[in-house]
Structure 1
Amino acid sequence: MKALMLTLVMLLSLASCNDDKTNENNKSIVGTWKLIATYGSDGGSIAKWSSVDKGYTYTFNSDGTFTSTRFSECTQGTYTLNPTSLILDYGCNGFDTKIETPAGTFSEKITYENENVILTPSYLMCDEGCAYKFEKVAQ
């Protein structure tokens, strides 16, 4: 009986653990994502979505590491996924684009639209708004 109770307690504990690689709707970030559209304005008009032909990619691994084609100077790092944010910490010594704080760390608001991921940078000041839409291209 003790063994059965212990097993039940362990199973309930495991079930209640939140896997930090998924959101509240169990959508996983693990896999390869390609930038397909950007949201913003050309400076004088209303912000809108614009398609991207050759977008950069992020590949998120289940161990909390990622690779990316966004910056040629640094292509890998670690990430932390919270219910509403994605923090990308590029792992290259001295990497700094001068737009992020601290250097090499990018904090993005994350939302999900159907099967797409939308990242909204917290490190940019966009008057009309700005965001990046990604489509999953590989598991």
Structure 2
Amino acid sequence: MKFKYYYLLILLLFIACNDTKGELVTADENLIVGKWVKIEAYISVGGPQYWVDVENGEEIDFFENGTFFSNRFKECTTGNFSIEENILLLEYTCNGFNPVSENEKGFITYKLDFLSDYFILTPISGPICIEGCSYKYQRKK
């Protein structure tokens, strides 16, 4: 009889601890629509990488029509976006604006890890962090 109670207790603990938050989700344009703010950066200063909080982080607003607004660059704040196989493509549309981080096709590209309550961007185009870097964005409330 004790065995059944232990089995039941272990089963209940497993179910209670099996939280779906933080599960990787295949991202598409519909999932990312909304306002997001950069809250953390994954950096290194020559040693192991670690997360640090970002104060007054970049804000980016993705719209249903495939456009976005971002306060990352003062020279240009708008553009078009798309997601292809978990790669986020940002194309700033201001005349004469050519950020260093864009690729040969004119896109700034990021590997996109979309989780249920936040996403992580890792730069692919432009100057890449030698020791690696990523940025965590959370939906703005």
Give the TM-score, by structure 2 length.
0.74
CA contact (8 A) 1:36 1:134 kept: yes
Aligned to 2:37: 34
Deviation at 1:94, TM superposition (A): 1.4
Partners of 1:59 and 1:105 lie apart in 2 by: 17
- Specify the SS of the correspondent of 1:63: coil
Are 1:133 and 2:136 counterparts?
Answer: yes
Deviation at 1:30, TM superposition (A): 0.3
- Specify the SS of the correspondent of 1:99: coil
- Specify the SS of the correspondent of 1:92: coil
Letter in 2 for 1:137: K
Partners of 1:20 and 1:116 lie apart in 2 by: 14
Deviation at 1:84, TM superposition (A): 1.0
Q: What do residues 62-120 of structure 1 show as CA deviations (whole Å, max 9, x unaligned)?
A: 11000000000000000011231110000111112223223752011100234011011
Larger radius of gyration: 2
Indicate the percent of aligned positions where both proteins have the same amino acid: 38
Alignment of 1:80-119 (within 5 A): 80-102=82-104, 104-119=106-121
Query: Across the two proteins, how many residue pairs are aligned to each other?
Result: 114
Unaligned runs of 5+ in 2: 1-26
Letter in 2 for 1:39: Y
Partners of 2:131 and 2:97 lie apart in 1 by: 29
Alignment of 1:49-60 (within 5 A): 49-60=51-62
Q: Please provide the CA RMSD for this pair.
A: 1.9
Give the TM-score, by structure 1 length.
0.75
Q: Identify which of structures 1 and 2 has the higher relative contact order when contacts are C-alpha pairs closer than 8 Å and 6+ apart.
A: 2
Are 1:21 and 2:13 counterparts?
Answer: no
Partners of 2:76 and 2:112 lie apart in 1 by: 22
